[in-house]
Every structure is written in C-alpha cells, then in structure tokens.
C-alpha cells in the first residue's frame, strides 16, 4: 500500500509540473496573440490600397493582358501551404494539412500534376514523409514575421506561375476568427480574380504607362496576399495554442484533483488497516 501511495504522490507531482508548463505557455501565447492580431490589422490598409490601385488600372485599361490575369487550361497546379514551426497548438496544423491533402487526392492522380510551396516546419515534415513534391520551403519564421521572411517563396511561387510552370496557384492557411475558432481556408491566388470592374475607385495618373505599372503591381499584389495570409495564420496559431494550453491546464487540474482523492482514500485505507491490526494484536494479548 505504501508503495502505491508513493506512486500516486509522484504522479501528482508530475502533473503539477506539467500544469505549470501549460499555464505558462497559455499566458505566453495570449501575449503573442495580441501582437499578432495588431500586425494582421496593420497590414490590411496596405493590401486594400494596393487592391484599389490595381482595380483602377484594370478598369481603366481596355483589353489589358497579363499572365496573372489570364485563365488557361489546367495541366498543373501549385499549392502554397502555411503551417507553424512548432506543435502544441491543437488542430491548427492538422486541419489545414488535412484539407490540402484531401484536395490533392481528389484532383490529382500523379505527383507530376502538382507542386508544393511550404511555409513552416510542420508542413514541410508532413509532405516530406509522404514524398510529395516540394519546390521551395521556408522554416524558422519568427513570431512577428516581416515580408522579408517569406519574400523568396512568395516571389518564386508567383514567378513560376507567370512562366507557365503551373496553371493555377492555391493558398492554404488558417483564417483567424477568434481565439477559439480558426478556419482552414482554400483561396485561389492565381490567376487573380475580381481586381477590376469597380467604377467607384479613384482615378490615378501613371508613369510611364498603366500597363507598365500593372506589370510591377500585380506580382506585388499577389505577394501581399501571401504575406497577409501568413499574418492571419500567425494569429490563428497563437489563438489555437492558447486554447490548447488552456484546455491542457484544466485537464491537469482535474487530474490532480482525482489523484489527490485517490491518494486520500488510499491513506485512509492504510490507517484503517493499521488500527485494525493494532486492535487485533491487543485483543490477542488480552
């Protein structure tokens, strides 16, 4: 009995240590979530203004042609997937990876029909284990990412579409709703849609020409969408981690309560047994 009680006490101590860790991780994630939300919100005005300028050019330039605006027969597809470098974030990574994997299985019969661009170590390791074709990867993204951190993969993904390496590019990431809800999103990034036709946009004068400006802005616009998705994904990651660690802390508290109750019952049983043995011994001597 004493050995069993020591095991229970050791287990209680172990769960208490785990609870301290999960509680600390929850608080850190909550602090990072606030900063990530602010970063995502701060990036939106730039993306909206860039969209407005692109829409103005596309609406005011008749017969404008650009590879990023042209729909062509689908022979090959590109997928850009945003995940995290670390785990312990609930279903954050699993949900988006499951969504893109299901899409690939439904649309493709061979790995020659698609390519992958991956942001985050979890996504990279997942696709590597399944021998799926990764063109470029980026890991080690900081908690407060700058555009420079993903410039290479964003530029390559857009450039290869322009060059005809594939005929469409999809973006997969977790859209942040709130700390409890993150929705895995599939968004067709290229060819670009719905950037023109808005007659209410402001009028601009362009130098050297609208077509020349559009040639520069369209790739920048696509890269901005990728960066905005990354910022959204970071907020989702911290929200998911905060929620997961909060649940882990609650579960640890319940486990400690249950183990303490078990320990007290075992202790009472041990004391009762000792008293019974003393009484039995005293009766035997009388």
What's the DSSP call for residue 134? E
Greatest pairwise CA separation for the chain in angstroms: 115
Structural domain contains residue 205: yes
- Number of domains within the chain: 1
Structural domain contains residue 114: yes
Q: What is the pLDDT of residue 52?
A: 77
Structural domain contains residue 199: yes
Q: What is the pLDDT of residue 276?
A: 78
Closest CA to 192 of 66, 104, 61: 66
pLDDT, average across residues 75-98: 95
Collapsing DSSP to helix, strand or coil, 83 comes out as coil
Structural domain contains residue 273: no
What's the CATH number where 239 sits? 3.40.1380.10
Structural domain contains residue 274: no
Query: pLDDT tens digit string along 227-274?
Result: 999 999 999 999 999 999 999 999 999 999 999 999 998 888 878 877
Using alpha carbons, list the distances in angstroms from residue 24 to 12, 29, 189, 242, 246: 18, 9, 38, 10, 10
pTM equals: 0.85
Query: pLDDT tens digit string along 16-60?
Result: 999 999 999 999 999 999 999 889 888 878 888 887 777 777 666
Q: For residue 104, report the phi and psi dihedrals to the nearest 5 degrees.
A: -65, -40
Residue 73 domain boundaries: 27-243
Structural domain contains residue 11: no
Query: pLDDT tens digit string along 186-228?
Result: 999 888 765 554 555 556 676 777 777 778 888 888 899 999 9
pLDDT, average across residues 158-182: 92
Share of the chain above pLDDT 70, in %: 91
Q: What is the pLDDT of residue 241?
A: 95
Structural domain contains residue 76: yes
Tokens of 207: 């130098």
Q: What is the pLDDT of residue 91?
A: 92
Structural domain contains residue 21: no
């Amino acid at each position: 009995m004493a050995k069993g009680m020591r095991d229970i006490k050791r287990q209680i101590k172990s769960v208490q240590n785990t609870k301290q860790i999960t509680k600390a991780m929850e608080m850190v994630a909550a602090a990072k979530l606030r900063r990530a939300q602010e970063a995502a919100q701060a990036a939106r005005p730039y993306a909206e203004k860039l969209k407005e300028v692109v829409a103005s050019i596309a609406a005011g330039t008749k017969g404008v042609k650009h590879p990023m605006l042209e729909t062509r027969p689908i022979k090959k597809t590109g997928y850009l997937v945003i995940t995290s470098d670390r785990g312990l974030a609930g279903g954050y990574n699993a949900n988006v990876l499951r969504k893109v994997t299901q899409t690939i299985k439904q649309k493709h019969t061979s790995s020659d029909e698609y390519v992958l661009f991956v942001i985050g170590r979890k996504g990279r390791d997942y696709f590597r284990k399944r021998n799926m074709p990764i063109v470029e990867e980026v890991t080690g993204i900081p908690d407060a990412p700058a555009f420079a951190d993903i410039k290479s993969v964003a530029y390559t993904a857009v450039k290869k579409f322009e060059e005809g390496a594939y005929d469409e590019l999809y973006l997969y990431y977790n859209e942040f709703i709130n700390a409890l809800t993150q929705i895995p999103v599939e968004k067709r990034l290229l060819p670009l849609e719905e950037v023109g036709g808005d007659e209410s946009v402001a009028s601009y004068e362009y130098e050297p020409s609208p077509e020349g400006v559009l040639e520069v802005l369209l790739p920048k616009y696509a890269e901005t969408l990728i960066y905005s998705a990354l910022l959204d994904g970071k907020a989702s990651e911290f929200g998911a981690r905060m929620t997961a660690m909060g649940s882990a802390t609650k579960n640890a508290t319940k486990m400690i309560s249950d183990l303490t109750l078990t320990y007290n019952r075992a202790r009472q049983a041990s004391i009762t047994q000792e008293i019974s043995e003393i009484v039995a011994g005293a009766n035997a001597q009388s």
